[in-house]
Amino acid sequence: MREITWRNDMGEALLDAQKTGRPLFVDFFWPT
Amino acid sequence: MNTVTYSDEYVIDMISKNFIAVKLHLGEDKEWATRYDVRWTPTFLLLDGKEHEHARNVGYLPVMEMLAFLTLAIGKEAFDGEKFDEAITKFNEVISNYPESELAAEAVYYKGVSGYKKGHDASELSRAYQLLHSKYPNTSWEKKASVWDS
């Protein structure tokens, strides 16, 4: 089954967003 | 959230094709939560690489509302960058693909604003109001657009 590839390092994700121009979708969660 | 919305094929496709997806724990990633003023979960943000926020949602979204939110968010990022044709394309997608979504009225509103900002034609605003008045009456967006009635 396909899944979304989630990152959990926001700093690294921001650097990638700056490099690629791709926006970030950020999900703040609390485990249930 | 994981068991319903994020397992939907369309949601997986839309997030994977358009975004870098990040999951942050409100309790453990407090620095980021404070930085973006997040106080409840789930909270969804669309940010660009300069950390400008283009869209935010607080609370669970079922599949259709999530697809509408993501599409509207892409449109708002284009709108904020003054790419009005791209923005209108995305707002039209929300209006035609998710007409029952609560976000459809917002898409009509921003489509009108984008059309106006693109060509300074005030009839774009009155057209948006007419559509909101007929299709989405008594929404906050219809009220906001009521000053465009001509």
Domain CATH code at residue B56: 1.25.40.10
Burial class (CB in 10 A: 0-12, 13-18, 19+), B109: buried
Which residue in chain B is spatially nearest to A31 when comparing CA positions? B25
Question: Is the pLDDT confidence value at B3 over 80?
Answer: no
- Report how far residue B25's alpha carbon sits from residue B29's, in angstroms, rounded to the nearest whole number: 5
Question: In this complex, do A24 and B23 lie within 8 Å of one another by their Cβ atoms?
Answer: no
* Range of the structural domain that residue B86 is part of: 5-148
Average pLDDT, chain B: 96
Indicate whether this model's pTM tops 0.90.
Answer: yes
Question: How many structural domains is chain B composed of?
Answer: 1
**Residue A25 is nearest to which of B25, B46, B49, comparing CB atoms?**
B46
pLDDT digits over A1-32, tens only?
Answer: 789 999 999 999 999 999 999 999 999 999 87
**Closest CA relative to residue A24, chosen from B134, A10, B132, B99:** A10
Q: What is the mean pLDDT of residues B137-144?
A: 97
Helix (H) or strand (E) holding B137: none
Please report the pLDDT score of residue B150 as a whole number: 77
Give the ipTM: 0.96
pLDDT digits over B53-80, tens only?
Answer: 999 999 999 999 999 999 999 999 999 9
Which residues of A are less than 8 Å from B30 in CB distance? none
Question: In this complex, do B47 and A1 lie within 8 Å of one another by their Cβ atoms?
Answer: no
Q: CA of B148 to nearest chain A CA: how many angstroms apart?
A: 32
Q: What is the mean pLDDT of residues B39-43?
A: 96
pLDDT digits over B96-129, tens only?
Answer: 999 999 999 999 999 999 999 999 999 999 999 9
A29 has a chain B CB within 8 A of its CB:
yes
